[in-house]
Amino acid sequence: MNWYPVELHTHTQHSDGDFSVRALVEAAQRRGFAAIACTDHNTVSGLPELTVEAEQNELVPIPGIEWTTYWGHMLVLGEQGYTDWRGIKPSDIDQAITAIHANHGLVGIAHPLAISSPVKTGYHWEFLVNDWDAVDFMEVWSRDRAPVKVQSYRAMQLWEQLLNRGCHITATSGRDWHREDRLPYAHTYVGTDGMLSTENIFTAIRQGCVCLSTGPLLTMKGRQGNVTLDIGDTAVPGSLEITWALQAETMQQDWDASQIVPEEVHLIHNGEVIYRCSLPDHQPVTLAVSEGWLRADLIGRFYEKERQIIALTNPIFIRSDAEYRLSSRDCCRNRPKSAIH
């Protein structure tokens, strides 16, 4: 599995960013990203330029748009076609997501629990989602200093509640990048066995093969018998061996190792910490797991605050349903559909 840093949420002069598309791509290249999205507010006018500039800078382009409405902001990536966001009402969102999926697009909730009115209209997610399982990803971390923001704690809570209800939603971080600055941001890493491509990025996001970090990259693998499980795969209840790895050399020019200091790895099963390990020890651990999900958190100091989540993986899912046991990453929408309404 190869892990690539990608940025899924940016703005240019085509909406309210300071960047030209070229300046955005060059900034992404300087910082070490492998792929860069362009998600301007309610416009796709920057996308032709994104393709050209990304190619010249050897980055993978991720075409997108940020639906910017009174009821919330939604990232739409890779849609082939156009779903009209104008006049949308809170109860229309399930239909809109279905229409975007029919056009092969992905949808992600941007900054779901950011402070809204009177600061900024629509910053807070107020759409009435019935089928949460249809949502492909959610920004649990948004903008700078994400690990220590109240909106992040609340977004993580919402995400875990949805996971506990059986939804398969991928956590991402979003720089919501408008201009160059030196603030500390988190990074989204996508995992793929092959070369990075726009399509592989979308497959990784759909599958949940994604990790987030403000510093070193934390990844994990599972093993049941002779089956190896990557993040986003599905195990069966029972004995599960977990191995994790830290890569401190990732995106090093974009975070300060004196301010972001890992101390422990926690394994979280259905919202509860079931295993803690002080670093640098990282022996594989075998756990008995019931239905649900299991993920890893990297805990440590983030600037002046101790015991923060400074990196996390998306979950390995655990279901007794054998169909998913045999699921493959090649399947584009390999997710257990929940009965959540």
SS3 content of the chain, % helix, strand, coil (to 5): 20, 35, 40
Which of 7/176 has CB closer to Zn ion? 176
- Using CB under 5 A as the binding rule, the residues of this chain from 66 to 85 that contact Zn ion are 66, 73
Shortest separation between residue 72's beta carbon and Zn ion, angstroms: 9
Which of 73/221 has CB closer to Zn ion? 73
Shortest separation between residue 50's beta carbon and Zn ion, angstroms: 15
Which of 41/325 has CB closer to Zn ion? 41
Which of 67/132 has CB closer to Zn ion? 67
Count helices and strands in the chain by DSSP H and E runs: 6, 19
Count Cα atoms within 13 angstroms, Cβ side, for 112. Answer: 23
Q: Does 206 bind Zn ion (CB under 5 A)?
A: no
Quote the strand ranges of 78-149, DSSP E.
106-109, 137-142
Shortest separation between residue 177's beta carbon and Zn ion, angstroms: 8
Of the ranges 104-112, 185-193, 199-207, 237-245, which one interacts with Zn ion (CB under 5 A)? 104-112
- Using CB under 5 A as the binding rule, the residues of this chain from 286 to 325 that contact Zn ion are none
Of the ranges 105-113, 152-160, 227-235, 249-257, which one interacts with Zn ion (CB under 5 A)? 105-113
Shortest separation between residue 9's beta carbon and Zn ion, angstroms: 6
Shortest separation between residue 38's beta carbon and Zn ion, angstroms: 11
Shortest separation between residue 112's beta carbon and Zn ion, angstroms: 10
Shortest separation between residue 80's beta carbon and Zn ion, angstroms: 22
Of the ranges 107-115, 202-210, 245-253, 328-336, which one interacts with Zn ion (CB under 5 A)? 107-115
Phi, psi of 165 (to 5 degrees): -85, 0
Which of 42/164 has CB closer to Zn ion? 42
How far apart (Å, rounded) are the C-alpha atoms in residues 89 and 71? 8
By CB under 5 A, name the one of 24, 60, 76, 110 that touches Zn ion.
110
Which of 116/338 has CB closer to Zn ion? 116
- Could you tell me how far CA 317 lies from the centroid of its own chain? 16
Tell me the site size for Zn ion, rule CB under 5 A: 4
Strand 227-230: give its sheet, edge to edge: 227-230, 217-224, 238-247, 285-289
Residue type for position 28: A
Residue type for position 278: S
CA-wise closest residue to 73 among 81, 65, 82: 65
Residue type for position 318: I
Shortest separation between residue 78's beta carbon and Zn ion, angstroms: 17
Kindly provide the b/e burial profile for residues 267-278, where b requires at least 16 CB atoms within 10 angstroms of the residue's own CB.
bbbbeeeeeeee
Of the ranges 16-24, 59-67, 185-193, 215-223, which one interacts with Zn ion (CB under 5 A)? 59-67
Shortest separation between residue 111's beta carbon and Zn ion, angstroms: 6
Residue corresponding to tokens 């939604």: 74
Q: What are 249's two structure tokens?
A: 């050399």
Q: Does 143 bind Zn ion (CB under 5 A)?
A: no
CA-wise closest residue to 106 among 69, 73, 135: 135
Q: Does 139 bind Zn ion (CB under 5 A)?
A: no
> Angle at CA 155, nearest 5°, toward 106 and 329?
40
The total number of residues written for the chain in this structure:
341
Which of 73/319 has CB closer to Zn ion? 73
By CB under 5 A, name the one of 79, 136, 176, 297 that touches Zn ion.
176
Q: What are 216's two structure tokens?
A: 């070193």
Q: What are 98's two structure tokens?
A: 């279905």
Interface residues toward Zn ion, by CB under 5 A? 66, 73, 110, 176
